[in-house]
Amino acid sequence: MDMLISSSNDGMMIPIPQYPLYSSGLTLRDGVAVPYYLDEANEWGMSVESLQQALDSARAEGTAVKALVVINPGNPTGQLLTYENMAGILEFCAKESIVLFADEVYQTNNYTDDRVWHSFRKVMLDKQLPVQLVSFHSTSKGYYGECGLRGGYFEALNIEPDVIDQVYKLSSMSLCSNLPGQIAVDLMVRPPKESDPSGSLFIQERDSQLTSLRRRAEKLTDALNQLTGISCNPSQGAMYAFPKIELPPKAVAAAKAAGKAPDGFYALNLLDATGICVVPGSGFGQVDGTWHFRTTFLPPEDQMDAVVERIREFHEPFMAKYTSRSLL
């Protein structure tokens, strides 16, 4: 991002909803965030047509769009892109001479039999497309979830060697990551083989964790879809669900009176009543007039039923309260 954003007219295309790191990073560098909207009605898929519209609009306003950010699996939306969708995105980047930033930090967290996760690197090489691609991965995310061991890497393909030299110079200005973080990244990219002394145990623990996450994901989204006014796409990957909530007009009015966004108002009431913390959709961006929240399925599996029940016990009375005639 430091290399790409060199003036206040430079911009990057970012998904809405989005992981706020990208918008805040652009703000820090005085760049322009060019939003494109994921399609909630199509399992948070991406439309090349909407990308083109966002790009054309930004260019018409004088923005020099340098890159497109894609998060796959999605955060906060939890979707997996299809191979065909990814190929279309790469063709768009090649045609428009845009760098593709592929945020793939949840690549191992897949919970559906209908789709297989593919890297943009693989699809690009399959299709032999001349796209400038930067792919990201991290040991702090995914099923490793080593948030205390900050480590990750990026791979740059089809980038001029002189540019890579400048990236190394920028990186050299900072201290290197701590040793445990470096060790964790090495283990992530070179995990134990089945024939290694720890291989069978590693595979058993990995598969057990991912299978448990899949059960928790299905349990949470199924329960959310049974609540009044809530609809939620399946969590195909990552660690999140991003349900839409149809808040009663009186709840929206109460939020306005309290100086809160409606989904923030809901989230704070949920926190006060249950101790469960969710993140309002307004923190990630959303279509105007819609409200969401991001939640995870990370509580221990033997506690998921209790978590779901606490949400239900809060949600139904909350919705009833703000649809009651007594509030007229």
CB atoms near residue 324 (< 10 Å): 11
- Residue 31, classified by CB atoms within 10 Å of its CB into exposed (0-12), middle (13-18) or buried (19+), is buried
What residue has token string 């995914």? 142
In this prediction, residue 141 carries a pLDDT of 80
In this prediction, residue 173 carries a pLDDT of 81
Between the CA of residue 159 and those of 67, 92, 100, 130, 131, what are the distances in Å? 13, 18, 11, 10, 9
Instruction: Round to whole Å and give the CA distance between 63 and 228.
Output: 42
Asked whether 81 and 245 are in contact (CB, 8 A), the reply is no
Structure tokens, 59: 């260019």
Give the CA angle between residues 244, 246, 251 to the nearest 5°.
Answer: 125
pLDDT digits (tens, 9 = 90+) for 297-323: 999 999 999 999 999 999 999 999 999
In this prediction, residue 170 carries a pLDDT of 83
| Higher-confidence position of 3 and 82 | 82
Instruction: Round to whole Å and give the CA distance between 292 and 108.
Output: 26
Question: Phi and psi dihedrals of 78, rounded to 5?
Answer: 75, 20
- 68: pLDDT strictly greater than 70: yes
Instruction: Round to whole Å and give the CA distance between 220 and 242.
Output: 11
- 127: pLDDT strictly greater than 90: yes
- 144: pLDDT strictly greater than 90: no
In this prediction, residue 328 carries a pLDDT of 46
pLDDT digits (tens, 9 = 90+) for 89-125: 999 999 999 999 999 999 999 999 988 999 999 999 9
In this prediction, residue 131 carries a pLDDT of 97
Prediction pTM value: 0.91
pLDDT bracket for residue 178 (50, 70, 90): confident
pLDDT digits (tens, 9 = 90+) for 183-239: 888 988 999 999 999 999 999 999 999 999 999 999 999 999 999 999 999 999 999
- 327: pLDDT strictly greater than 70: no
Structure tokens, 80: 């997996």
- 276: pLDDT strictly greater than 60: yes
In this prediction, residue 325 carries a pLDDT of 62
| DSSP type of residue 234 | -
Q: Which of 44, 80, 73 is nearest to 292 (CA)?
A: 44
In this prediction, residue 197 carries a pLDDT of 94
In this prediction, residue 326 carries a pLDDT of 52
In this prediction, residue 152 carries a pLDDT of 87
Give the CA angle between residues 238, 242, 243 to the nearest 5°.
Answer: 145
> Residue 216, Cα to own-chain centre: how many angstroms?
18
| DSSP type of residue 327 | G
